[in-house]
Structure 1
Amino acid sequence: MEKISVFLDDYRSAPDGYVLVETIDECIELLKKFKIEHLSLDHDLLDRTRNGFMLVQMMIKEKLFANRITVHSANSGAGKAMYNSLKQAQHDSIMPHSTILSLRPLPLKFFPPRVLQHYLEVQ
């Protein structure tokens, strides 16, 4: 199965080498079809009722995970809720303990070079 890296965001551009998806439905489809090396998630999306937290709940329910998951949402409260839900799933052995999970909020307009390094190292 082909490995890809996925960046869920409806505002920011994806780092080089990442597949950009703008909806949780697109993201779920890729999680089902590919082995995901790195999945980077935003919370606030154009469709306010189908956000990153809902995606995390679906991922946990359907046991769809990546080798690495980064929550990059600038919405600190929602980003922490997403991260904590994934951490709890890992603690409860729903998500593999080998999955590397990180919370790294990204600015909306400018990515400092050292922030992008996190994405470059993942591939």
Structure 2
Amino acid sequence: MINLYLDDLRDCPEGFIVARTFEEAVRVFQEHTINLLSLDHDLDEDEQGNELPNGYDFVKYFCENGLRASKIYLHTDNPVGRKNMYETLLAAQRRNFIDGDIEIFHNSITPNKYSGD
């Protein structure tokens, strides 16, 4: 089992592997069993300034595909994005789209750090 940190900019915390895009996160889930999942909301823009698929898009993918992680943390600084991701995960549990024993946390498990590397 691995711990996955989905974030386009922040430093990857010790004990996690990082996915910088929605697509990378999907690939990691296809290849590994996930223990801890930590999610950012905003995942950059393309060359034309259009928002790329974000953490909320990943939450919807996670729920639609019945994926699994033991615990999910939301480390985003975007308060609206955090609320949307959190409420969607809880609703998916109530509707049995995702396992009811997944622990979902409204906050981060690690401090957010940016080194610029």
TM-score range, shorter chain: 0.7 to 0.9
- The aligned counterpart of 1:42 is 40
C-alpha displacement at 1:51, in angstroms? 0.5
Q: Which has the higher helix share?
A: 1
Quick one: distance in 1 between partners of 2:112 and 2:75?
10
Aligned to 1:10: 8
Supply the AA of the counterpart residue of 2:42: D
Are residues 19 and 80 of structure 1, via their aligned partners in 2, closer, same or farther at CA, if it must alter by over 3 Å?
same
Distance 1:77 1:35 in 2: 29
Match of 1:78?
A: 81
**Matched-pair identity in %:** 31
Gapped regions of structure 1 (runs ≥ 5): 111-123
Which aligned runs of 4 or more in structure 1 are off by greater than 4 angstroms?
A: 105-110
Letter of the 1:23 counterpart: T
Tell me the C-alpha RMSD between the 2 structures: 1.6
- Return the structure number with greater relative CO, CA threshold 8 A, min gap 6: 2
Provide TM-score, normalisation by structure 2. 0.85
**Aligned twin of 1:99:** 102
User: How many aligned residue pairs are there?
Assistant: 108
- SS of 2:73 mapped into structure 1: strand
Report how far residue 30 of structure 1 moved: 1.0
Gap runs ≥5 in structure 2: 46-50
